[in-house]
Structure 1
Amino acid sequence: MSRLIDLRRRGLLRASGVTLLSASAVALLAGEEKVALANTGGAASDVGILNVALALEHEAISAYQLGAQSGLLQKPVLEVAVLFQSHHKEHRDALVATIRKMGGTPVMAKSDAEVAKALNAASLKTQADVLKLAQRLERGAANAYVGVIPSFNDRTLAQISARLGEDEVMHWTALTGALQQPLPAKALSFGA
């Protein structure tokens, strides 16, 4: 299941080796409207991909909500989970605004019950289980942003993608610390 989650997050930005999230969409998400306007094209396709991203952000918000309501998280860990959920809400809001700016209709969130079933939340029995699920989701998001960087011709867009990926790595690192797991022993551990 964890491999499936990682692949789904990575698949958001790439499918069959073809980058799906356009430079203009990433620029809009990062608040770089001038860069986005210079890279217009394929708006309908971008809206479809952004809706996939929005669905995944909805899922992340629900996953953190399920973790927060589980009663399994101790106070300091719960506070971090709520903080990360707020980051995903900011991502959601940016995606919704971007989709609307591009003339699209944002996809609706699934219910928490649907997300719980999809993520097999019933199997979460300990704080560590909740953290491991969040860790897998965050690693998948980080890998997705790293994976899209080579597709950019504009170095500014590559930098924006890298910055977004760095936020996801920050989440992953904090979760890894909360799990008291060692950091990767080898360099270049993301994006592979």
Structure 2
Amino acid sequence: MFSFIQKQDTTHTPATANPGDGTRRAFLGHSGLLLSGAAVALLAGRDALAKGSQSGASDARILNTALGAELEAIAAYQLGAESGLLQKPALDLALTFQGHHKEHADVLAKTIVKLGGQPVAAKEKYTFPVDTLKNQADVLRFAAMLEKGAVSAYLGAVPVFGNRELAKAAASILGDEAMHWAILRNALGETPVPSAFMS
């Protein structure tokens, strides 16, 4: 079992920052690297579309960053579940979303292996803004920020695919993250979809 409840390390990202943006956006855009069509095809279970790709090693590296972000999300939801701050039905919601992230991580790990890479392992300890989590709303807001970061990351990836099937596969992953974000906002009493367009 990982150790999650800890004092915030002030040398890391401050609690006022968007905790999900740095990690999740990095694998899809900050470094200037994007998943190849082959990697997204494998993620979507479309192995036939991935045949003939020469970018396996590069894709495996990028996907390992994505896997690291999913593992961090799993740990964040575990933090919420173990905090004692979540009451039903919010606790059930957090565990459901954690299950989704576990499925994402499983698919990513399998795809990395198919590309010839070695999947990263979860860290024993993550640095989360624990000192700022005082009640259920704080935990849900933290989770919502992580999910918004994931939405932004995938939103940046969808337009780069010329192949409509690959764009569709990436959009499917984005859709799951967007639903998490909207449902968490709703649980906080906020407008689930704050605007007509995602930025």
Task: Please give the alpha-carbon distance, in whole angstroms, between the structure 2 residues aligned to 1:186 and 1:122.
Answer: 30
Contact 2:67-2:105 at 8 Å conserved across structures? yes
Q: In structure 2, what is the equivalent of residue 140 of structure 1?
A: 149
Aligned partners of 2:179 and 2:191: how far apart in 1?
15
Counterpart in the other structure of 2:69? 56
Instruction: For 1:135, give the aligned amino acid.
Output: A
Q: Which structure shows the higher helix fraction? A: 1
Check conservation: 1:6, 1:141, Cα contact below 8 A. yes
Post-superposition Cα deviations, 1:97-146, rounded to whole Å, max 9, x if no partner, equal: 111111111111002xx21xx22223211111110111011111111111
Aligned-residue sequence identity (percent) comes to 49
Q: Which consecutive residues of structure 2, in runs of 5 or more, have no partner in the other structure?
A: 1-13
Aligned to 2:129: 120
Contact 2:67–2:109 (CA<8 Å) still a contact in 1? Answer: yes
- Normalising by structure 1, report the TM-score: 0.90
Matches within 5 A, 1:1-192: 1=14, 2-3=17-18, 5-16=20-31, 18-38=32-52, 40-111=53-124, 114-115=125-126, 118-188=127-197, 190=198, 192=199
Normalising by structure 2, report the TM-score: 0.87
Q: Deviations over 1:131-176 (max 9, x none)?
A: 0111011111111111111111111111111111111110001100
C-alpha contact (below 8 Å) 1:19/1:151 kept by paired residues: no
Alignment length, in residue pairs? 184
**Cα RMSD between the aligned structures?**
1.4
> One-letter code of the match for 1:169?
A
